């Protein structure tokens, strides 16, 4: 019996209802392609459906753990690429999913997700979905890595701390660097709250399933805003949250935009407000 490792943030999900909600939120529609049926991996560059359209329902899973979500994903998608850091769990998963690994339905990778290179597995922009019950201690790092990744996923469905989910959605009406960071690249939505008792071992806090859809850099491209400049302004604006923007952004932004928002604090600005400031 594998004992959860606190250092790796391991809390194994045991709720079938929560697992189904994750799958439903991912909107996975497998396309049983001719290439896949003949044994070719959909991760191989050029793998295509019988009508020549490249298979797009590939799933990247972070920290499969004991494979509860992995099992559900394998039943719904054409292929799962699972990245696991725990060597003991890698061996466990190899035995549990021996058949699926042989059939190349499951690609099991031992490694740290924060060092994972999507280009090594032909995960091109918006050709895969990231669906996972992630280690909560690296939630921010995972969001940053994949939302700003050159090869962005088209959808992310993640289990996160409930408090973090609320911050991302800014339910209290106050934005943060975290909420703006997510909304700049996609459309976040609360899927369901998940009580801590549905995990083993049970964490100290409740969790939530969130989805982030339509991930892209559209907001920067359509508004002709420099991505690096945008984040420099946002980070500077939030550096002293209690101060008004007229003080925080003095010298960085000019003109009517700063005059319009100068008396406000960073948490009161919407994503479109930050875009306007970045244009000045």
Q: Where are the domains of the chain?
A: 6-216, 220-279
Q: What is the mean pLDDT of residues 252-270?
A: 81
pLDDT over threshold 70, residue 50: no
Q: What is the mean pLDDT of residues 14-22?
A: 92
pLDDT over threshold 50, residue 177: yes
State the pTM of this model.
Answer: 0.86
User: Among 61-75, 205-219, 253-267, whose mean pLDDT is lowest?
Assistant: 253-267
Instruction: Find out whether 93 is annotated in a ligand binding site.
Output: no
Q: What is the mean pLDDT of residues 104-122?
A: 93
Instruction: Find out whether 63 is annotated in a ligand binding site.
Output: yes
How confident is residue 49, by pLDDT bands cut at 50, 70 and 90?
Answer: very low
User: Among 56-60, 83-87, 96-100, 181-185, whose mean pLDDT is lowest?
Assistant: 56-60
Question: Mean of the per-residue pLDDT values for the chain?
Answer: 86
Residue-level pLDDT at 126: 84
Residue-level pLDDT at 263: 86
Residue-level pLDDT at 184: 98
Instruction: Find out whether 13 is annotated in a ligand binding site.
Output: yes
Instruction: Find out whether 226 is annotated in a ligand binding site.
Output: no
- How would CATH label the architecture of 220-279? Orthogonal Bundle (1.10)
Residue-level pLDDT at 42: 53
How confident is residue 217, by pLDDT bands cut at 50, 70 and 90?
Answer: very high
- Per-residue pLDDT of 2-17, as tens digits, reads 454 444 445 778 889 9
Considering the chain, what percentage of its residues have pLDDT values greater than 90? 63
Q: Is the domain covering 6-216 a CATH 3.40.50.150 domain? A: yes
Considering the chain, what percentage of its residues have pLDDT values greater than 70? 85
User: Among 49-63, 159-173, 266-280, whose mean pLDDT is lowest?
Assistant: 49-63
User: Among 47-61, 83-97, 144-158, whose mean pLDDT is lowest?
Assistant: 47-61
Q: What is the mean pLDDT of residues 231-236?
A: 94
Residue-level pLDDT at 3: 52
Supply the DSSP string of the chain, one letter for each residue: -PPPPGGGT--EE--HHHHHHHHHHHT------HHHHTT--TTSTT-B-TTSPBP--EEEEE--TTSHHHHHHHTTSSEEEEEE--HHHHHHHHHHTHHHHHTTSEEEEES-GGG--GGGGT--TTSEEEEEE--GGGHHHHHHHHHS-SS--SEEEEEEEHHHHHHHHTTTS---HHHHHHHTTSEEEEEEEE-GGGEES--SS-EEEEEEES-SSHHHHHHT--HHHHHHHHHHHHHTTTS-HHHHTBTTB-HHHHHHHTTS-GGG--HHHHHHHHH-
């Amino acid at each position: 019996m594998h004992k959860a490792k606190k250092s790796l943030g391991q809390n194994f999900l045991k709720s079938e209802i929560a697992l189904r909600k994750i799958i439903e939120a991912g909107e996975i529609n497998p396309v049983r392609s001719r290439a896949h049926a003949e044994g070719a991996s959909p991760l191989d560059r050029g793998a295509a459906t019988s009508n020549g359209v490249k298979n797009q329902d590939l799933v990247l899973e972070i920290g499969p753990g004991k494979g509860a979500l992995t099992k559900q994903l394998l039943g719904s998608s054409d292929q799962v690429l699972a990245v696991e850091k725990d060597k003991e769990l890698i061996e466990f998963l190899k035995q549990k999913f021996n058949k699926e690994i042989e059939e190349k339905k499951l690609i099991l990778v031992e490694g740290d997700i924060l060092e994972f290179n999507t280009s090594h597995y032909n995960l091109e922009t918006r050709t895969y979905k990231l669906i996972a019950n992630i280690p909560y201690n690296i939630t921010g790092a995972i969001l940053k890595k994949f939302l700003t990744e050159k090869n962005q996923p088209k959808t992310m469905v993640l289990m996160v701390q409930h408090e973090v989910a609320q911050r991302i959605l800014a339910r209290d009406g106050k934005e943060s660097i975290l909420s703006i960071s997510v909304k700049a690249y996609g459309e976040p939505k609360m899927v369901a709250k998940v009580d801590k008792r549905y995990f083993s071992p049970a964490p100290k806090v409740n969790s939530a399933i969130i989805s982030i859809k339509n991930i892209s850099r559209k907001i920067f491209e359509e508004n002709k805003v420099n991505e690096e400049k945008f984040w420099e302004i946002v980070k500077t604006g939030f550096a002293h949250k209690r101060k008004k923007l007229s003080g925080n952004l003095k010298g960085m932004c000019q003109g009517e935009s700063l005059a319009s928002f100068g008396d406000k604090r960073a948490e009161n600005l919407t994503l479109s407000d930050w875009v306007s400031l970045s244009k000045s």
